[in-house]
Structure 1
Amino acid sequence: MDDAGASYGLWLLVFINSAVFIIFAFSFFKPQTKRDWRSFGAFSAFVVALFTEMYGFPLTIFVLSGWLQSTWPDIDWLAHDSGHLPEMMFGWQSNPHFGPFHILSFALIGGGFWLISVAWHHLWSAQRQGRLATTGPYARIRHPQYVGFVLIMLGFLMQWPTILTLAMFPVLVWMYARLARNEEADNLARFGEAYRRYIKAVPAFFPEVSGATRETDSP
């Protein structure tokens, strides 16, 4: 295998891309509580780990280099585009940025950011009025912002999977599920029976595809 050369060691790009996505996510999520900051911090750690391998040091490629080179000997695994492992492994011949996994990743990332942004608007509006947020995405799932973060991370994994981010992903999903349970305990204490009715009416993370959108605002 050739030296990585100009493909990696681009630490300025690691910093710039990490900062752009973290600031972008911050502008959508606008963390306020300690719980918000914990979820945002976990997402930020995922982003930094991702771009460190994408532009800094390709740890996954080095660890798997023997297997990758013997299984796909015609691919230069230290070329930057080869980091798009799904396209490479499935024999995508054209630019990997136009490959099916890359396109799917953009859909997931864009959908995640959209969900976080729209959900935050409805949550902020409900908080200002001292009521339970049950409109917009909250009419279909109880924790749209956590789902949005998971969609974004899943999108990044489809585009540029690494050993570290693959290991982090289930841990972060578990962390978001735990934060959601803590959030529900707080809401039960604050809103009581209204929140119990909301729990019965609206699923936590996966919307009912056949069900109609519910608007269940409670004072």
Structure 2
Amino acid sequence: MIPSAEYGFWLLAAVNAALFIGFAYSFARPLEARDWRSFGAFSAFIVALFAEMYGFPLTIYLLAGWLQTRWPGVNWFSHDSGHLLEMIAGPGVNPHFGPFHLISTALILLGFWLIAAAWPVLYRAARSGRLATAGPYARIRHPQYAGFILITTGFLLQWPTLITLAMYPVLVVMYLRLAAREDASAAERFGAEHAAWARSVPAWIPTWRRAASGPAASR
């Protein structure tokens, strides 16, 4: 039996999901159909996350027997217990101040910062019909997709659920494929300029080398 005081806050779940989705949209407004597909998948991940965080803890409900057997001293239907990694492998402090939660917060903030920093560069580039090579694009070729991966990774560390665990690799593969398609499209459109940029700027993991100089413009 799930204590009513701990879950069932569907309005809170909806508000939080809307806030995070709206916040992400404000920094990464989809430009093309593939952008809308990736943003839709990200939104589904966020909705599934907050539905379990504040609505109904499906993962805890399904794993309750196993969890109670392994860690009998934990009230698994308390809200804090939804921080599964903190409860199972954390140091036993308040889960909001444990290492998994702190790393999660850092990843989420870094992801949103990366998306926010990349968007105006990409927008100006798209309007002028040029290759985006300034800002975050001077360090990695796909900062917006990297940002979304960082955000979903952060949320997974903070509040893992069976549904988001299943969705996470699908999202990562989708972003990798979208990035590959964007590289191919940009290579066809910008030719030697893209080739020079791609040689000096890694796709995902930044280096301290300065990127090849080039105009700040589109994908």
Whether these two folds match at TM > 0.5 is yes
Number of residues paired by the alignment? Answer: 216
Displacement, 1:92? 3.6
Q: Is the 8 A contact 2:10 2:54 kept in 1?
A: yes
Match of 1:217 among 211, 214, 218: 214
2:177 aligned with 1:182, yes or no? no
1:106-157, CA deviations, whole angstroms, 9 ceiling, x for partnerless residues?
A: 1000000000010112112222332100111111111000000000000001
Mapping for residues 2-151 of structure 1, pairs under 5 Å: 2-151=1-150
For the 8 Å contact 1:131–1:217, the answer to whether it is kept is: no
Percent of counterpart pairs with the same letter?
59
Do 2:8 and 2:55's aligned partners in 1 also have CA atoms closer than 8 Å? yes
Equivalent position SS for 2:5: helix
1:159-178 equivalences in 2 (<5 Å): 159-178=158-177
- Whether the 8 Å contact between 2:67 and 2:76 is mirrored in structure 1 is yes
For 1:213, the aligned partner's letter is R
Conservation of the 8 A alpha-carbon contact between 1:86 and 1:101: yes
Read off the aligned partner of 1:69 and give its amino acid letter.
Q
One-letter code aligned to 1:214 = A
**Structure 2 spans left out of the alignment, 5+ residues:** none
State the distance in 1 between where 2:116 and 2:75 align. 39
Most deviating of 199-208 and 143-152: 199-208
Does the residue aligned with 2:174 lie in a helix, a strand or coil?
A: helix
Give the gaps of 5 or more residues in structure 1: none
Inter-partner Cα distance in structure 2 for 1:141 and 1:6? 45
Do the aligned partners of 1:135 and 1:215 also contact (CA within 8 Å) in 2? Answer: no
- Residue type at the aligned position of 2:110: G
Kindly provide the CA deviation profile for residues 144-189 of structure 1, in whole angstroms up to 9, marking residues without a partner as x: 0000000000000110001110111111000011111111122122
User: Are 1:141 and 1:203, in contact at CA under 8 Å, matched by a contact in 2?
Assistant: yes
SS of alignment partner, residue 7 of structure 1: coil
Task: Give the aligned CA root-mean-square deviation in angstroms.
Answer: 1.4
